[in-house]
Amino acid sequence: MYDGWRSVINGLKDPQRAYHIVGKDINRWWYRDSDAEYNPAGQSIHEKDWDNLIIIDSCRYDYFRQKNTFSGNLTPFQSLGSSSSEFVRANLSNQQHHDLVITSANGWYEKVFLQDGFSVHDLRIIKDNHELNRDDEIYYKFADAGRGGWVRPESTTAEAKRMVKQYPHKRHIIHYHQPHIPFIGPTGIEHFDELPLGWGDGGHQGTLSASDELIRKAYAENVDIALDAVSNLLPHLDGKTVISADHGDFLGERGFPVPIKLYAHPSSYYSDTLTKVPWFVVDHDERRDIVVEEPDGELTVGDEHSIDQRLRSLGYKI
């Protein structure tokens, strides 16, 4: 039975929204392989070679190629998922990686850990912006709007530096929240009331007052912000460092075969716009000596209710 009927029935008062829901699902089916649990063209991050894997959330390949100024080699990479939940599940669920430490501003690692289980040497989820100056205009503006769940890049960089120093002989995944919404650059601040605070499951133009041009400008600024934060982290990383993304973002492109406008990153929607991400190998010299060993103690995460609250505040459908 079609899972979207309830939404369609509820959406009869808004035919445009009902059309968008059905159209999005038709397009999603178009790209799916019924026998594949995840993107059939995707590849596990564990099949690639790296010591440090920096994930900048929702970063499209084309925007990274335009904005990147680091020295290294860029190639496209097909992610296993079109959303963070799929990316984390596909690359970690029921797996053991005792040479790996994860530092993440994305709460899906907690959610997947509780639901599916996985084992790494250490898992650090950043849940607040403790590195911020409390007079920061951005902090108050988004906090006052009830916009919880997101972490500023400065906080991620600071925590990643601590974890790398604590575990010098492990591989590290460092997952930044940006360029995922909210848009915290100059355009995002100026047009705060027009731009989306939460995309929901794939967004809907009827809920946005901003033009596509404005959304893309704000998104590009978030890419710059993410890359600036990464530039502050790179000097603290030895070995082979790769910058990549969990998935991309729709920014008003037309879907196929139903030509609806699309936003954000719906799950199981394996269009290149969402699954083609950067795989950028930063220039490096010596590799790090990696040691595999049992975790020092049991991994601990928050309770599922608080995790769900933070994910919902970012527009995720739980």
Per-domain boundaries in the chain: 5-313
Q: What is the rounded CA–CA span in Å between residue 129 and residue 229?
A: 14
pLDDT value, residue 193: 79
Find the helix or strand (DSSP H, E) in which 153 lies: helix 153-166
Q: What is the rounded CA–CA span in Å between residue 64 and residue 74?
A: 9
Query: How many Cβ atoms sit within 10 Å of the Cβ of residue 34?
Result: 5
Q: What is the mean pLDDT of residues 146-151?
A: 64
pLDDT value, residue 97: 96
Query: Strand, coil or helix: what is 152?
Result: coil
In DSSP terms, which residues pair with 254 in a beta bridge? 261
Q: What is the rounded CA–CA span in Å between residue 277 and residue 82?
A: 10
Amino acid at site 56: I
CATH T-level topology, domain 5-313? Alkaline Phosphatase, subunit A (3.40.720)
Q: What is the mean pLDDT of residues 214-229?
A: 97
Find the helix or strand (DSSP H, E) in which 282 lies: strand 276-282
The pLDDT tens digits of the residues spanning 206-219 come to 556 789 999 999 99
- pLDDT higher than threshold 70 for residue 312: yes
Nearest CA among 171, 280, 285 for reference residue 231: 280
| pLDDT grade for 146, boundaries at 50, 70 and 90 | very low
What is the percent of the chain with per-residue pLDDT over 70, rounded to a whole number? 84
The pLDDT tens digits of the residues spanning 86-99 come to 999 999 999 999 99
DSSP 156: H
The pLDDT tens digits of the residues spanning 22-32 come to 888 888 888 77
Structure tokens at 26: 């038709």
pLDDT value, residue 1: 42
The pLDDT tens digits of the residues spanning 156-202 come to 999 999 999 999 999 999 999 999 988 989 998 888 878 886 666 55
pLDDT value, residue 27: 83
Q: Do β-strands 52-56 and 241-244 pair in parallel, antiparallel, or remain unpaired?
A: parallel
pTM, whole model, 2 decimals? 0.90
